[in-house]
Amino acid sequence: MKKDVISILDLTADEFVQVIDLALLLKDQRARGEDHSLEKRYTLGMIFEKASTRTRISFEVGMFELGGHALFLNPNDMQLGRGEIVEDTAKVLSRYLSAVMIRSKSHATVMELAEHATIPVINGLSDLEHPCQILADVMTMREKFGVLEGLEIAWVGDGNNVCNSLILASALAGYHIRVATPGGVYAPDASVLAKADAIGATYTICATPAEAVTGADVVYTDTWISMGDEAEKEERLRAFAGYCVDEELLALAAGRAIVMHCLPAHRGEEISPAVIDGEKSVVFDQAENRLHAQKALLSLLLER
């Protein structure tokens, strides 16, 4: 039976660990120049409603290195852009492709595509969750610390899709996440927090960035102005005053702390140049690991 990954919780705890373990193995094999093609030549359709650097390149290169082929699909070049319903598109793509990855403006679109497709559908980003990013993030934490259970993660900034998935993933990985946002519309999604409570995710909503970062093993931030939020730039800059991850804030973290950012970054806004380019920063390891984590995920979904 086909399996979709729309939410990070579409993976069981065992599957989550399996993906991370395989990602680390694939990274090692790639470094040693070993072929790790899958048994069959698979095809991946990639629908991009939102522009991308890391998502497109990592999935496209990943499919190539697995011995398959990826197709870039711009909705404006498809009948989707001329009014074809998602259901019909899903049924047609299922006749051509082995799997679909979609980077969408709406989580509902991803869910609708998965409902009607007979092939695996992967959420490459939606307004609610970003499971592929979290797989790369958790892989990076495993690389740096050797274990996940018991880690203290500090999230500072916007309670966005990455933050939502990172909270939910705590139930699979065993870390604890402390979240500092300005609250209100910038808080993590209420439905995500309700789900997190139901599954036993371990998180704390903090009043200040300092409370979240003190003693943390991982300090994580993201842009305050995501695609689609540009008209709110000045308002958001005012709301997030005091939330920049700078050297003073980072000094409160554990001595072994690492700094993460899923990119693109705006130096001088959510993170200072000295921190993102400093010795504790692992953001480019994190970006590279998108490739390895997504190859592992594709392997799991295509060769079930």
Q: Which residues belong to the active site? A: 103, 130, 133, 222, 262, 290
Q: How far apart are CA 189 and CA 166, in angstroms?
A: 12
Find out whether 171 and 202 touch, Cβ atoms under 8 Å. yes
Per-residue CA distances from 158 to 54, 183, 237, 242 (Å) = 20, 9, 11, 12
* Distance, CA of 68 to CA of 300 (rounded, Å): 14
Using CA atoms of 179, 184, 190, 192 in order, give the dihedral in degrees to the nearest 10.
-40
Q: Give the residue ranges of DSSP H helices in 82-148.
A: 86-96, 107-116, 131-145
- The number of beta carbons lying within 10 Å of the beta carbon of residue 143 is 18
Question: What is the layout of strands, in order, in the sheet containing 152-156?
Answer: 203-206, 176-180, 152-156, 218-221, 258-261
